[in-house]
Amino acid sequence: MPTPPLWDQQKAMDKFTTLTGIAAPMPLLNIDTDMIIPKQFLKTIKRSGLGVNLFDEMRYNQDGSEKPDFVLNQPAYRSAEIIVAGDNFGCGSSREHAPWALLDFGIRCVISTSFADIFFSNCFKNGILPVVLPQEAVEALMDDAKKGANARITVDLESQTVTGSDGTTYAFEVDAFKKHCLLNGLDDIGLTLEKVTAIDSFEGQAAQSRPWV
C-alpha cells in the first residue's frame, strides 16, 4: 500500500492496533444517536470538544450537575475506553457527532451484538473499532465490565480478538479493507483518489448512457 501524500497524513485518523482498558457496561437496548449526543450539540462546525456532552441527558441533571448513577460518572468508569452495549447500538441519525463525542471522551471501542449501519461505518472513519460478538460473548463481557476498574478488557484488531479479564478470548469478524485502514490510520479519500482514472472513465461512459444525470 503506497504511503499517502503529506496532506493526507496531516488529517489522517488515529490508528487502532491493540487496546487494553476499562470497559463500561451499558446493557440498554437501542442506545440511539440522540442519547449519545443530543441535537443541541450538533450546531458546532468543529469535530472536537464534544466529549463533555457525550450521553448528555443520561449523564447530567437539568441544572448541569452529574447524575451519580450514570455509569460514566462512577469513579470506576470515568476513564473507560471501551463500552459494552446492548443490541443495536448507534441507531437513529447519521450524525458523525456521535463517534466524535465518543472519541473525544476517550472511547476507542464499542462491543455489542449489533450496530446501526451508518454509525458502524462512521466509527471506522474516526479510529473507533465497533466489535460485533454473539449474544453469549457480549453477556460475558458485560458481566466482566460490571466488575469495574479491576476488569480490563483487551481488544486486538490484528488478531481480531477480545480478551476478558479472566483470559477468555472471543474472535470477531471485521471487513478486511476497514481493518487495513484502521490499523494504518489511513484517510480513504486519499486511497479513492488513486483510482481517479477509473472514476473519469465511468463518468465518461455514464455521460453517454445516462446523459440526463
Partner 1 sequence: MTTPTHAAPKTIYDKIWDAHVVDTSEDGTCLLYIDRHLVHEVTSPQAFEGLRMTGRTVRAPEKTIAVPDHNVPTTEGRDIRIDNEESRIQVDALDKNARDFKINYYPVSDIRQGIVHIVGPEQGWTLPGMTVVCGDSHTATHGAFGALAHGIGTSEVEHVLATQTLIQKKSKNMKVEITGRLRPGVTAKDITLSVIGETGTAGGTGYVIEYCGEAIRELSMEGRMTVCNMAIEGGARAGLIAPDEKTFAYVMGRPHAPKGAQWEAALAWWKTLFTDEGAHFDKVVTLRGEDIAPVVTWGTSPEDVLPITAVVPAPESFTGGKVEAAQRALDYMGLTAGQKLTDIKIDTVFIGSCTNGRIEDLRAAAAILKGKKIAVKRAMVVPGSGLVRAQAEEEGLAQIFLDAGFEWRLAGCSMCLAMNPDQLSPGERCAATSNRNFEGRQGRGGRTHLMSPAMAAAAAITGHLTDVREMMAEPAEAI
Q: Considering CB under 8 A, how many residues would be counted as binding partner 1?
A: 59
Tell me how crowded residue 86 is: count the other CB atoms within 10 A of its CB: 17
Residue of 17, 18, 173, 177 interacting with partner 1 (CB under 8 A): 177
Contact residues for 209 (Cβ-Cβ < 8 A; gap 6+): none
What CA–CA distance (Å, rounded) separates 108 from 23? Answer: 10
What are the beta bridge partners of residue 23? 82
80 three-class SS: coil
Residue span 115-154 as binding mask against partner 1, x where in contact by CB under 8 A, dash where not: xxxx--xx--xx----------------------------
Any idea what DSSP says for residue 122?
Answer: H
Residue of 3, 14, 17, 29 interacting with partner 1 (CB under 8 A): 29
Shortest gap between Cβ of 150 and partner 1 (angstroms)? Answer: 25
What CA–CA distance (Å, rounded) separates 16 from 41? Answer: 27
Contact residues for 203 (Cβ-Cβ < 8 A; gap 6+): none
Shortest gap between Cβ of 5 and partner 1 (angstroms)? Answer: 9
Q: How are beta strands 82-85 and 18-26 bridged, if at all?
A: parallel
Shortest gap between Cβ of 1 and partner 1 (angstroms)? Answer: 12
Q: Answer whether 30's CB lies under 8 Å from 86's CB.
A: yes
What CA–CA distance (Å, rounded) separates 24 from 4? Answer: 35
Using CB under 8 A as the binding rule, whether residue 193 contacts partner 1 is answered as yes
Residue span 44-73 as binding mask against partner 1, x where in contact by CB under 8 A, dash where not: xxxx---------x----x-----------
Nearer to partner 1 (CB atom), residue 65 or residue 210: 210
Residue of 3, 39, 79, 159 interacting with partner 1 (CB under 8 A): 39
Residue 16, C-alpha cell as written in the block: 487502532
Per CB under 8 A, residues contacting partner 1 are 7-8, 10-11, 27-30, 32, 34-35, 38-40, 42-47, 57, 62, 86-88, 91-96, 99, 114-118, 121-122, 125-126, 175-177, 188-189, 192-193, 195-196, 198-199, 202-203, 206, 210-213
